[in-house]
Amino acid sequence: MQDKDWLIGILLRQGHLKTEDGEIVLTRLRRGAPESPESAALPVAEENLGKTVLVRGDLVGGVLYSAQVVETVHRLTGALIQRLAEKGIVSLAEIQEHLSEMEGEQEIEPPKKLCALVIGHKKRSPGAMNAKANVSEFDFNEDLALRIERKVNKAEVQRIYRRTWEELPGDINQLNPDFVVSLHCNAFNEKASGTEVLYYYKSQRGKKIAEVLQKYLVAYLELPDRGIKPKTSEDRGGYLLRYTNAPCVITEPFFIDNDDDFARALADIERFAQTYAKAIDEISRLV
């Protein structure tokens, strides 16, 4: 296994780390990737800003590639480390050197997989509607995505908003996720009902992801099982499925224009979000 570089420092916004030698960009990109490191900066939760952390990856200049936060140091411990370093009692470089030596002595938990959670449509083009409730596909799935994000345990989740349909695959690819789940709702004639998940017809990993989501969504909603649907790039939704680098699926769990389907989805929105979260956790072990 290739040796990794260890750093200790304070987490800043936009995936930056304040170290003894200056700011370092933390990126999920692998060393040698053609994209800009900032295009796939390591996500930093708001509650972790300003905390002292131990990170590892491949350090090249001012960029740490394949960056992984191994441990967030307790506030008092972090303050003590910084104070000792300021007084010259111990240098952060010495701590980093010892960490590198210790790496081979204990198993390091691998970084979590990254799920790009795409909110279908956008505010100015909200997609299908439920006329009775006056709720759009976009509004429903934006709220659902926020709930899902809080419930996923075994993966990292990054919400994605669409700028334009043409730009969406490129925006997702810059994030460099391990898999992509796009949240949608079906609509037809106010009577059609059921659950289906779409995937790119050439993608075996996409098919496997679709199977997992279909299993969980059908079990929870108990609507007609419309199955998983292979799509080409010319089919509706196929452009996204084809041009994302990571395996991608589009979920259509119910028909939003069918009042009975919609009521089933709203019956317990937290459990519905938990259903998605469980599926994403399982998928993170497969990709």
Q: What does the CA dihedral 205, 211, 212, 214 come to, rounded to 10 degrees?
A: 140
Three-state secondary structure call for residue 136: strand
Rounded Cα gap, residues 36 and 29, in angstroms = 9
Domains, the chain, ordered by start: 5-103 (2.40.50), 113-284 (3.40.630.40)
Higher pLDDT among residues 245 and 5, named by residue: 245
Sign of CA dihedral 56, 57, 60, 63: negative
- The pairing of strands 22-26 and 16-19 is antiparallel
The gap between the terminal CA atoms of the chain, to the nearest Å, is: 21
71 pLDDT band, cuts 50/70/90, is confident
Average pLDDT, the chain: 88
Phi and psi based region of residue 82 (left: phi greater than 0; alpha: psi -120 to 50; beta: remaining): alpha
Nearest to 253 by CA among 278, 224, 232: 224
Provide the phi-psi class of 173: left if phi over 0, else alpha when psi is between -120 and 50, else beta: alpha
Question: Looking only at Cα atoms, what is the longest distance across the chain?
Answer: 73
* Stated pTM of the model: 0.67
pLDDT in tens, 105-132: 555 567 789 999 999 999 999 999 999 9
DSSP category for residue 110: P
Q: What is the pLDDT of residues 204-219, one digit of tens each?
A: 999 999 999 999 999 9
How many residues are given for the chain?
Answer: 287
Cβ–Cβ < 8 Å for 41, 14: yes
Output the six-digit token pair for 15. Answer: 């995936």
